[in-house]
Chains A and B, each alone.
Chain A
C-alpha cells in the first residue's frame, strides 16, 4: 500500500490539482473509463493524495449518478481531497481543455476531420489509452485475487459476463451489486 499524504490545502496544492486535472482531461481520448487510469496515475501513484480503494469507491459513486463519468469523478475526487474548493478547481480543470480544443477545432473543422496525420496521432493515442486501462484492470484483478474472498470474485465474474455477453445495463448492475454488498458484505474483511 502507498502511504497517503494528506495534501496541505495551500495555493501550491490547488495549482498542482488544477494542472494535473487539466492535463488529464486534455489527454482523455475515447472518454469514459480512460479517465480512471489517468486519475489513478496522477492522484494515487504520483502524488499519493488518495488511496486505490478511495479511487474505486469514488468512481463507483461517479458511475452511478447521472452525468459524464469524467466530470463526476473530478467533482467527487476533488471533494474527497479538498472539499468544495477542490471540487471547483477539478471541475474547471476538466471542462477548460474541452472548451479550448473544441473552439479551435470548430473553426478548422474540415481540416481536422480530413487530416491524415492527425488521424494517425489520435489512433496512436487510442492504443496508448488502451494500454493504460488494461494495466489498471490487471492491477485491480491481481489485488482482488490476492484477497482470496469468494463473494467479490463472484461479483466480478458475474458482472463481467452480464455486461459483456448479455448487455445488461451498467446502472442496473451497479444497483444489483450495491444491494448484494448491502446485504452480505458489511464485514471489515471486504474492505
Chain B
C-alpha cells in the first residue's frame, strides 16, 4: 500500500528533521532515493530546486512534490500528512506545557534566554537574505561591486512600505510586480 508507506516514511522525516526545512532534504533523499528507489538523484535535485523556488515552506513543498511524483495527488496528500503529523502532536504538547507553566521561574528563565537567541537567528537569516537579494549568493560575494540594482530598489521600497504599515501580502505582491518590470528592463 503505497499511500501508507509514503505516510509512514514522511512521518519519520517529520519526526527527525531538526533545524527546519533544509534539514529534511537529506532524510527525504535517504528514504526516497537510496532506500526505496522511487526517484533518481537527478529527479530529487530538481525537486529541491522547485521547492526552493515555489512559495511555501521548503519541507512541505518537497513532501508534496515527491508524493505527487510517486503516487499522484493521493501520494501528495499522504506524504504531506505524514510530514506534519509529528509537528501536530509535539507542537500541541509543548505549547500546552509552556502556556501552563510559562509563569513559573525556571520555564520563564528558559523562555527569557530563548527570546534573544531567536532575535540573533533572525538577524543571521536577514543577513543571508540580503546577500541573496543583492548579490544572488548565499555566501560572501567574490565581487562586492557587482550587486543587483533592481534588487536594491525593491529591497529599499519594500522596507519603506513595511515601515509605513502596509500589509505584508501587499508588499510581497508589489515586489513580485516590480521584479517583473525591472526584470524586463534588464535591471535585475
- Listed in ascending order, the chain A residues whose CB lies under 8 Å from chain B are 23-38, 41-42, 45-46, 53, 56-72, 75-76, 79-80, 84, 87, 91, 94-95, 97-99, 101-103, 105-106, 109, 112-113, 116-117, 119-137, 140-141, 144, 152-153, 155-160, 163-164, 169-171, 173-174, 177-186, 188, 190-191
Which residues of chain B come closer than 8 Å to A144, judged between CB atoms? Answer: 116, 119
Does more than half of chain A's interface fall in helix, strand or loop, or is it mixed? helix
Once the chains bind, are B91 and A156 in contact (CB under 8 Å)?
A: no
Q: What's the tally of chain B residues with a CB closer than 8 Å to chain A?
A: 98
Question: B176-188, CB under 8 A of A: which get 1 and which 0?
Answer: 1111101110001
Q: Is B40 positioned at the interface, with any CB of A under 8 Å from its CB? A: no
Contacts of B15 in A (CB 8 A): 66-67
Q: Contact at A177–B58, with CB atoms within 8 Å?
A: no
Given contacts A33-B125, A185-B113, contact A128 B171 (CB under 8 A): yes
Given contacts A131-B162, A156-B120, contact A191 B87 (CB under 8 A): no
Min CB–CB distance B152 → chain A (angstroms): 8
B154 engages A95 (CB within 8 Å):
no
> Which one, B69, B87, B169, B180, contacts A68 given CB within 8 A?
B87
**Bound CA span A177–B180, Å:** 42
User: What are 27 A-to-B residue pairs whose CB atoms are below 8 Å?
Assistant: A32-B20, A33-B121, A34-B129, A56-B114, A61-B114, A65-B90, A65-B94, A66-B17, A67-B14, A67-B15, A67-B86, A68-B14, A71-B83, A72-B87, A80-B99, A95-B80, A97-B56, A121-B180, A125-B179, A126-B129, A126-B133, A127-B151, A129-B175, A130-B155, A132-B171, A133-B122, A186-B112
Instruction: Identify which of B54, B116, B132, B167 contacts A155 (C-beta below 8 A).
Output: B116
Beyond the given A61-B94, A128-B172, could you list 7 further A-B residue pairs with CB under 8 A, ordered by the A residue number?
A: A34-B129, A67-B59, A124-B177, A127-B151, A127-B155, A128-B154, A181-B110
Does the CB pair B87–A71 fall under 8 Å? yes
Q: Are B125 and A173 in contact (CB under 8 A)?
A: no
User: What 7 A-B pairs come out closest when comparing CB atoms?
Assistant: A124-B179, A181-B113, A128-B175, A120-B183, A131-B158, A75-B91, A159-B120
Verify A129–B129 contact, CB threshold 8 A. yes
Cβ of B41 under 8 Å from chain A: no
B9 nearest CB across to chain A (Å)? 15
Cα distance A129–B94 when bound, in Å? Answer: 29
- Assuming the contacts A98-B61, A102-B61, asked whether A134 and B19 have C-beta atoms less than 8 A apart, the reply is no
B residues less than 8 Å from A97 (CB atoms): 55-56
Beta-carbon contact of A159 and B57 below 8 Å: no
Cβ of B99: which chain A residues have Cβ within 8 Å of it? 79-80
Complex contact B130–A67 (CB within 8 A): no
On whether the beta carbons of A182 and B162 are closer than 8 Å, the reply is no
Residues of B within 8 A of A159 (CB): 116-117, 120-121
Q: Are A68 and B24 in contact (CB under 8 A)?
A: yes
